[in-house]
Amino acid sequence: MVELNELHQFFNNKVAEYNQVSFIAKDPICIPHLFSKKQDIEIAGFFAAIFAWGNRTTIIQKSTELMQRMQMQPHDFCLNASANDLKTLEGFKHRTFNTTDLLYCIEFFKQHYQNSNSLESAFLTKGKKPTSVFDALIQFHNHFFSLADIPQRTRKHIANPAKGSTCKRLNMYLRWMVRKDKQGVDFGIWNKISPDQLICPIDLHVARVANRFNLLTRKQIDWMAAEELTNYLKKLDPKDPVKYDFALFGLGVMEKY
């Protein structure tokens, strides 16, 4: 059993090691880093996060391909794409995500950005700070699937914590948009959701590391496990617990801990 102070120092060292600009190039976060316009960052980041399962090189390749098909202007493309423009997306596929899913996402972004200048508002109820990320993710899920003629197959790509999902990819996306520091990896462009509300993204790699350090008692990898892990990380830094995602990810994926 590692003492809390010892673990705190070890994890802080790992955060410092991985929370560096050099981390960006080989991580899906490199996709939103291609852009400077806020809305482009939001849309590119969304797709990179939603695609983020499996091989990271493939995730980056497919995300880059999509941005190129959207003429490297995702916000403008979503708002103004003609029928001919949309045809350029035909045949796009990443794992189980296909053109049907993509066209629904674009229609969602078109309608959302016609009424809002930021995707953050999709996670908010009446523009107010959410009481929790759990509530924010349910709000986003409901808002995302509020359009007419929703393809049933698309529902599996947007996780819902109310159904017990870890919401790993959406929690990662929120980390990118919300966390604020000077390291240059996360963007910190959203202000209504605060870093102390974030939930740590958890998958098999992160859970393995968490179990090795006795940070988890829950056996099932689900939303409750994500909350349990985050509550432990708050003992290390109550204001910014999800910075330790860098340590857990680095240890699990890069170092095969």
pLDDT of residue 5: 84
Sequence-separated (6 or more) residues with CB below 8 Å from residue 182? none
108 strand-pairing partners: none
pLDDT of residue 255: 85
Q: Give backbone dihedrals phi and psi of 96, rounded to 5 degrees, phi first.
A: -95, 0
Buried b / exposed e over 68-94, threshold 16 CB at 10 Å, is: ebbeebbbebbbebeeeebeebeebeb
pLDDT of residue 2: 59
Tokens of 143: 């808002």
Sequence-separated (6 or more) residues with CB below 8 Å from residue 48? 28, 29, 30, 31, 32, 59, 60, 63
Residue reference for tokens 């109820």: 125
Residue reference for tokens 């990118």: 176
Residue reference for tokens 């604020």: 180
Mean pLDDT per 10-residue section of the chain, whose length is 257 residues: 80 97 96 98 98 94 98 98 96 96 98 97 93 97 96 96 97 98 97 97 94 95 98 97 96 84
Q: Using CB atoms within 10 Å of the CB of residue 194, give its burial: 0 to 12 exposed, 13 to 18 middle, 19+ buried.
A: middle
Per-residue three-class SS string for the chain: CCCHHHHHHHHHHHHHHHCCHHHHHHCHHHCHHHCCCHHHHHHHHHHHHHCCCCCHHHHHHHHHHHHHHCCCCHHHHHHHCCHHHHHCCCCCCECCECHHHHHHHHHHHHHHHCCCCCHHHHHCECCECCCCHHHHHHHHHHHHCCCCCCCHHHHHHCCCHHHCCCCHHHHHHHHHHHCCCCCCCCCCCCCCCCHHHCCCCCCHHHHHHHHHCCCCCCCCCCHHHHHHHHHHHHHHCCCCHHHHHHHHHHHHHHCCC
C-alpha to C-alpha distance for 171 and 173, rounded to whole angstroms: 5
pLDDT of residue 1: 47
